[in-house]
Each structure stands twice: as structure tokens, then as C-alpha cells.
């Protein structure tokens, strides 16, 4: 086995002094180590006070999520040598949770949020039999709708670099919202969809900025950002009326009409109040000042738009 | 002259119509002929999924097919259009069944998604289509004495599958900015925090809370201007204390356009460039 030399730059936190700092560890180790094995090596050979959380070492218990080279991931799943940049590998605790010591963060606030969304199935008596002898059947195509989402190991890598949380520390979080989606899709669940959507709305689905960082972080390939879009779709379809659902309906309608979103009227429709109207009036004023012709204010259907509309209709129906 | 298909997203429209001029000017400076994909439609913007996500595949298969019909690659300056179109391409190229079904419907418009067109964004266009050495040769004057903080925005670095550079330690923006003569200020607070654009009409306050963070970080680090490749980040973050410009605006100026031609006077927060 080949040995390689590099620097492990670890962000540490000392709770006694309430102080965070970076410490460099020079190592010469086998090139086959995972980041977790690297941390164990440092703890064993250099500094026994180095603190981190881990258990299964096989990407299943969800204990060892941290920020490795600016991106969240599982220490036990990532090869250290792939992450060495200019001789350095940078290891930090998850960003949106408070450190307890070194790389160990306090997961409680994120678990509290998970509890808020009813992360369990309330059996629907119409589907789930009330005796232990008969089975509750789920068809493969029904399970396929949330199969991926059941792989979540609650590691919080997604949560640890979520942008919505940087804007609102009370934001529910990606894996929590994926959980809402997972139970809405479960045919055995008896909770009303409206109720589940309400739980996902409070500091939830509308605050997501669709940055894709949760998907980039997830060791299981779960795309919470896409689940959130699905939750928004469901919210709209169960009749939720708000700035976001008005925007979504208008967006599709104008794209269907012209091929493009009508950004001039979007604020007015979405806000649906005086403020939105003012935004449109100001835009029109600005356009005139800039010498734009009226027909340049918004999108016009392109040539062959009928064929385009047919295309969209067919995609909706047949794909 | 090399040709490329210009994909018209919503960043060329209405209040942002000048972005089209910025883009065509930029291509001209690069010695690339831009061919407008005139029947292209909205990429979905991460919003049409809220109607039906299959439509997003359809829209972008069609957008790419329009480029292929003209025998060109597809170029969009917008981070979000880039990410969504590139994601669709990945889905279509890895799922023959999906590609076949969409192609059957596309055939009625006389179009076909083949998978031959590449998807470009300003940053990989400079690196891979024009070439960094060629790019440097196009620069006619230096924008000196200005400290510029690069701001990538999210969708050129995530998801990893479509990232245009190493998503953990990207360098391409620095490589594009440095030849312009500016001083690059990296490693500032919140440089990887999202601009919040996509919350503008779902939770407007969330956008306000986020947009200011990278700007404040850049200001604290002593940057005079923030530079982003993305017209949506620009829109979300213009109007605060610290000014922000699009990278292509700076490139255009360095390649000889006047600041006015480069649309710099249209900024809400005023920018002064010393030439
Ligand atoms: S896409 Fe939404 S949920 Fe995912 S990390 Fe970004 S803000 Fe958070
Ligand atoms: S969604 Fe993925 S990243 Fe988030 S907690 Fe679950 S397994 Fe971890
Ligand atoms: S130690 Fe269990 S997931 Fe890494």
C-alpha cells in the first residue's frame, strides 16, 4: 500500500472557552483511508482529544456527516485522497448546527423540527387492515413514488449546508420536508394531505431557494429540492392560494401562451395587491424612459406557437 | 467564425432586455457568431415543476433539439437555465426510454433530440469553447485599481453532475477575472451563500435576508465590486450598498465597449470603473 503525506486542516471547537479555530495535522498515511479513518488515525496517534461522531463506518448509521473541503458528506464514505487540494484536506463541522465539541454538532434542533412534521405513518383504516393476520399491500409502482426517499439515514448532511437555513434558522430543513413528501405519497397513510401540507408550510416549502445543495450533499442521492417542488405542486393542487401558487399558475399559463414567462405582469399577479400593481407601473415607466417599444415590454408568441402548445399538451398527457 | 446557439431565457426579457445586448456583445468580442434559437421556450425556471415536472423535460429536450436542428451548441449566460437544461440533457442521455418517448412527440414539430449539442454557460464557454489563451488575446485594456469579489452563484456548482468546475474549490471565475486587470478578492464571508433569487415570489423576505449576505461579506473583505456570471444573481443582489455586476459586463468593457454599452449605467447601485 502506498503512503502519502498531506495536511489535515481541522476546524475545532472548544466549549470551555467557546472558541473555534483551525488546527493543522501533518500526516503520512496509506492512500486508501476514508476521511473517517484519517480522523481515527489522528485521534489515535497525534491528538486523543480530537472529537467526532461515528459508528457504523459503512454509510448507514448517519453519524459522521461533516463538511469536507467545503461540501457536506459522510466521513466514512469519502476517500481522503480524493479531497486533498494543494496538499491540504479541510474538515469542518456541519454549518447550520451548533458545535458541541470539534466536529460534533448538536443535532437536537433538527430532530425537533423533524418531530413537528409528524414523521410517522398514521394508518388509513380503509387501506391498512385492523388485524395482524392480513397484510397491507403496497404495489411496486406505488412504492416507487417514495422508494428513494425512504433511504434517508438522517445524517443531516443536507441540513448542514442548506441555504434556506442561512436566511431563517427556523426553516424546517431539507430532510424534514422530504419526510413530509414521503408520507404524503405513502398509500397507507391516513393523515389528510392538507394537514401534512400545512405542516410543511410553516417556515417550510416556500422559503427554499432551490439552490440544489441538499441534493449535492446527500450520500443517498435524495433530492430534497425536487421533493419540495412536488410539495409545492401538491399544495397548489389542494387549493392553496398564496403568492407562490399564483406565481406558479401564471408562470405555466404564460409559457403555454407565448413560450416565455411574462415577467412584466408576474409581480402584479403573484402579489395580487397594490404593491404588485405599483411594480408593474414602475417597470412600464422605466421601459418608456429607456426607449423600449410597447411590444418589447413582454413576451410575444413565436412563430409556430400552435405546434408548441400541442407539444406541451401531449407531454402532459402521454409522457 | 465559430457559431453558437443563444438560448433566450427570461433574463433577456422585459426589465432585463439589456442582458441580450450584453450577451451578443460578449460573443462578438470573443469572435463567436451567436445564432438566436428563436423558437426556444422557458426552461421551466424551477417553477413549471410545480405544474408538472415532465413538462420541464419536454421543454428542454425541445430547446436542445432546436440547437441541434441548427447544428450548433447551446449557450445561456443564466446559471439556472444552464443547470436545468444540463440536468435534462443528463436525464435524456441516460434514459433511452424517456428520450424515445419525447422524440416521438417532438417529431410532430419536425424536431429530434439527438444528444449531440453541448450545453454552455459563460464560464465554460470561455474555458472550453473559446479557450483561455484565446480569451486573453481578446482583452484590449485593463480595468485596474478595482478589487473584485467573484460570486459564482449556486447553479454552476451544484448539483455536482452538471458543475462546470470543481464544485469544492472552483477557480474558473478567478481565471476569467484576473486577465481583466482587476484585483481578485477571494475567501470572503458568505461567498457561497445563495442570492435568494428563487424565493422572490415564494417568500420575498427570504430573498432579502439572503441577497445581502454575500454583498456584506465582500464589502467587509474590501472588495469594490462583486462579479457574478449569473444575470439572476445580479438582479437579486443589485440595489444594496455594495455594487454587483455581471462578469460579461466587465469583459465587454475590457474588450473595448464603453461602460454605457456594457449596461453598467443601468445598475441600481452605481459602479465606477477606472480605465
Ligand atoms: S434547495 Fe432548498 S432545501 Fe435544498 S439546500 Fe437549497 S434551500 Fe435548502
Ligand atoms: S436526505 Fe440525504 S443528506 Fe439529508 S439526512 Fe437524509 S440521507 Fe442525509
Ligand atoms: S459512521 Fe455511520 S454513516 Fe458514517
| Distance from the B19 Cα atom to the nearest Cα atom in chain A, whole angstroms | 14
Which residues of chain B from 174 to 233 reach within 8 Å of chain A, CB to CB? 190, 192-194, 196-199, 201-204, 206-207, 209-210, 213
> Mean pLDDT across chain A, nearest whole number?
96
Contact assignment for A311 to B196 by CB distance below 8 Å: no
pLDDT of residue A19: 97
Residues of A in contact with B214 (CB under 8 A): none
Hey, what's the cell of B11?
433574463
Read off the pLDDT band of A296 (50, 70, 90): confident
What DSSP string describes A185-226? Answer: H-TTB-S-HHHHHHHHHTTTGGG-----HHHHH-TT---HHH
Residue to mutate (ligand 2; options A107, A111, A158, A213; most atoms within 8 A of CB): A158
Q: Whose CA is nearest to atom 8 of ligand 2?
A: A155
pLDDT of residue B16: 86
Query: Is the bond preceding A170 in cis, omega lying within 30 degrees of 0?
Result: no
Closest Cα to residue B141, out of B262, B46, B58? B262
Q: Is the CB of A80 under 6 A from ligand 2?
A: no
Q: Chains A and B: how many Cβ contacts under 8 Å?
A: 193
pLDDT of residue B13: 85
> Do residues B32 and B262 make contact, with C-beta atoms less than 8 angstroms apart?
no
Contact assignment for A318 to B101 by CB distance below 8 Å: yes
Contact assignment for B49 to A233 by CB distance below 8 Å: yes
Hey, what's the cell of A284?
412600464
Contact assignment for A166 to B194 by CB distance below 8 Å: yes
> Do residues B51 and A313 make contact, with C-beta atoms less than 8 angstroms apart?
no
pLDDT of residue B196: 98
pLDDT of residue A131: 87
Return all residues near B207 (Cβ < 8 A) that are at least 6 apart. Answer: A209, B195, B196, B197, B199, B200, B236
- Angle of helix B53-69 relative to helix A224-237, nearest 10 degrees, comes to 120
User: A70 CA to middle of ligand 3, Å?
Assistant: 19
Q: Are strands B147-150 and B183-184 parallel, antiparallel or unpaired?
A: parallel
Q: Is the CB of A223 under 6 A from ligand 2?
A: no
Is B2-120 CATH 2.115.10.20?
A: no
Backbone angles phi, psi at B226, to 5 degrees: -100, 140
Sign of CA dihedral A228, A233, A239, A241: positive
pLDDT in tens, B166-191: 999 999 999 999 999 999 999 999 99
Q: Say if residue A290's pLDDT is above 90.
A: no
> Mean pLDDT across chain B, nearest whole number?
96
From residue B3, give the alpha-carbon distance in Å to each of A231, A233, B125: 41, 39, 12
pLDDT in tens, B64-123: 999 999 999 999 999 999 999 999 999 999 999 999 999 999 999 999 999 999 999 999
Return all residues near B237 (Cβ < 8 A) that are at least 6 apart. Answer: B151, B195, B211, B212, B214, B215, B226, B228, B244
Q: Say if residue A319's pLDDT is above 90.
A: no
Q: What residue ranges define each of the domains in chain A, with the CATH number in brackets?
A: 3-104 (3.10.20.30), 107-237 (1.10.1060.10), 243-318 (no CATH)
Average the pLDDT over B27-32 and give the result.
98
pLDDT in tens, B195-223: 999 999 999 999 999 999 999 999 999 99
Residues of A in contact with B192 (CB under 8 A): 70
pLDDT of residue A1: 79
Q: Whose CA is nearest to atom 1 of ligand 1?
A: A210
Give the residue range(s) of CATH 1.20.1050.140 domains in chain B: 2-120
Q: Is the CB of A57 under 6 A from ligand 3?
A: yes
pLDDT of residue A295: 81
From residue B6, give the alpha-carbon distance in Å to each of A29, B38, B67, B134, B180: 50, 9, 9, 20, 24
CATH fold of B140-266: Rossmann fold (3.40.50)
CA angle, B59 then A218 then B55, to 5°: 10
Residue A170 CA to residue A167 CA, distance in Å, equals 9
Of the ranges A158-162, A196-200, A283-287, which one carries the lowest mean pLDDT score? Answer: A283-287
Side-by-side strand order, sheet with A19-30: A19-30, A3-14, A88-92, A65-68, A71-74
What DSSP string describes B221-245? Answer: TT-SEEEES-HHHHHHHTTSSS-EE
Residue A53 CA to residue A93 CA, distance in Å, equals 10
pLDDT of residue B273: 85
Return all residues near B42 (Cβ < 8 A) that are at least 6 apart. Answer: A251, A255, A259, A260, A261, B9, B10, B48, B59
Rg (CA), chain B: 18
Closest Cα to residue B203, out of A278, A175, A245, A169? A245
Average the pLDDT over B28-48 and give the result.
97
Backbone angles phi, psi at A223, to 5 degrees: -110, 85
CA angle, A28 then A32 then A34, to 5°: 95
Q: Is the CB of A153 under 6 A from ligand 2?
A: yes
pLDDT in tens, B215-256: 999 999 999 999 999 999 999 999 999 999 999 999 999 999
Give the residue range(s) of CATH 3.40.50.11810 domains in chain B: 140-266
From residue B21, give the alpha-carbon distance in Å to each of A230, B27, B138, B248: 36, 10, 18, 11
Regarding pTM above 0.90, the answer is: yes
Residue A80 CA to residue A77 CA, distance in Å, equals 9
Residue to mutate (ligand 3; options A34, A40, A54, A94; most atoms within 8 A of CB): A54
From residue B14, give the alpha-carbon distance in Å to each of A120, A223, B187: 47, 32, 35
Residue B71 CA to residue B212 CA, distance in Å, equals 42
Amino acid at each position: 500500500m502506498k503512503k502519502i503525506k498531506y495536511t489535515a486542516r481541522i476546524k475545532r471547537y472548544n466549549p470551555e472557552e467557546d472558541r473555534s479555530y483551525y488546527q493543522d495535522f501533518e500526516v503520512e498515511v496509506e492512500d486508501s483511508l476514508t476521511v473517517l479513518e484519517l480522523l481515527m488515525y489522528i485521534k489515535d496517534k497525534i491528538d486523543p482529544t480530537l472529537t467526532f461522531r461515528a459508528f457504523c463506518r459503512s454509510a448507514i448509521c448517519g453519524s459522521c456527516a461533516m463538511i469536507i473541503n467545503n461540501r457536506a458528506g459522510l466521513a466514512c464514505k469519502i476517500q481522503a485522497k480524493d479531497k486533498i487540494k494543494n496538499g491540504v484536506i479541510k474538515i469542518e463541522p456541519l454549518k447550520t448546527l451548533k458545535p458541541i465539541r470539534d466536529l460534533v454538532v448538536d443535532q437536537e434542533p433538527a430532530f425537533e423540527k423533524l418531530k413537528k412534521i409528524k414523521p410517522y405513518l398514521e394508518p388509513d383504516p380503509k387501506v391498512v387492515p385492523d388485524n395482524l393476520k392480513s397484510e397491507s399491500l403496497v404495489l411496486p409502482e406505488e412504492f416507487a413514488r417514495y422508494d428513494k426517499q425512504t433511504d434517508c439515514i438522517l445524517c443531516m448532511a443536507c441540513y448542514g449546508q442548506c441555504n434556506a437555513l442561512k436566511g431563517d434558522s427556523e426553516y424546517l430543513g431539507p430532510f424534514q420536508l422530504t419526510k413530509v413528501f414521503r408520507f404524503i405519497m405513502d398509500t397507507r397513510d391516513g393523515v389528510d394531505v392538507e394537514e401534512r401540507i400545512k405542516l410543511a408550510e410553516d417556515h417550510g416549502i416556500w422559503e427554499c431557494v432551490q439552490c440544489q445543495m441538499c441534493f449535492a450533499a446527500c450520500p443517498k442521492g435524495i433530492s430534497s429540492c425536487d421533493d419540495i417542488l412536488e410539495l409545492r405542486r401538491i399544495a397548489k393542487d389542494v387549493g392553496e392560494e398564496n403568492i407562490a401558487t399564483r406565481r406558479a399558475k401564471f408562470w405555466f399559463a404564460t409559457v403555454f401562451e407565448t413560450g416565455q414567462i411574462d415577467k412584466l405582469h408576474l409581480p402584479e399577479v403573484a402579489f395580487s395587491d397594490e404593491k404588485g400593481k405599483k411594480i408593474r407601473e414602475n417597470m412600464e415607466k422605466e421601459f418608456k424612459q429607456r426607449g423600449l417599444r410597447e411590444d418589447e415590454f413582454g413576451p410575444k408568441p413565436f412563430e409556430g406557437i400552435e405546434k408548441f402548445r400541442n407539444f406541451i399538451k401531449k407531454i402532459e398527457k402521454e409522457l | 467564425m465559430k457559431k453558437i446557439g443563444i438560448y433566450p431565457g427570461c433574463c433577456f426579457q422585459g426589465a432585463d432586455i439589456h442582458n441580450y445586448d450584453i450577451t451578443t456583445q460578449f460573443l462578438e468580442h470573443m469572435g463567436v457568431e451567436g445564432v438566436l434559437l428563436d423558437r426556444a421556450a422557458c426552461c421551466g425556471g424551477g417553477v413549471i415543476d410545480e405544474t408538472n415536472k415532465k413538462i420541464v423535460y419536454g421543454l428542454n429536450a425541445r430547446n436542445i433539439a432546436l440547437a441541434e436542428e441548427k447544428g450548433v451548441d447551446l449557450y445561456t449566460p443564466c446559471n439556472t437555465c444552464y443547470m436545468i437544461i444540463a440536468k435534462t440533457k443528463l436525464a435524456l442521455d441516460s434514459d433511452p426510454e424517456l428520450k424515445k418517448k419525447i422524440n416521438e412527440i417532438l417529431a410532430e414539430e419536425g424536431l429530434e433530440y439527438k444528444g449531440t449539442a453541448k450545453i454552455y454557460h459563460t464560464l465554460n464557454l470561455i474555458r472550453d469553447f473559446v479557450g483561455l489563451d484565446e480569451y486573453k488575446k481578446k482583452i484590449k485594456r485593463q480595468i485596474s485599481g478595482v478589487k473584485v469579489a467573484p460570486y459564482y452563484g449556486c447553479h454552476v456548482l451544484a448539483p455536482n453532475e452538471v458543475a462546470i468546475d470543481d464544485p469544492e474549490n472552483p477557480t474558473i471565475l478567478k481565471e476569467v477575472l484576473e486577465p481583466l486587470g482587476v484585483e481578485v478578492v477571494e475567501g470572503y464571508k458568505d461567498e457561497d451563500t445563495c442570492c435568494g433569487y428563487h424565493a422572490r415570489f415564494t417568500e420575498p423576505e427570504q430573498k432579502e435576508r439572503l441577497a445581502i449576505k454575500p454583498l456584506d461579506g465582500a464589502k467587509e473583505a474590501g472588495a469594490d465590486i462583486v462579479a457574478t456570471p449569473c444575470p439572476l444573481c445580479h438582479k437579486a443582489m443589485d440595489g444594496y450598498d455594495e455594487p454587483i455586476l455581471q462578469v460579461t459586463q466587465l469583459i465587454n468593457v475590457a474588450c473595448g465597449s464603453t461602460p454605457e454599452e456594457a449596461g453598467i449605467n443601468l445598475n441600481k447601485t452605481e459602479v465606477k470603473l477606472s480605465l
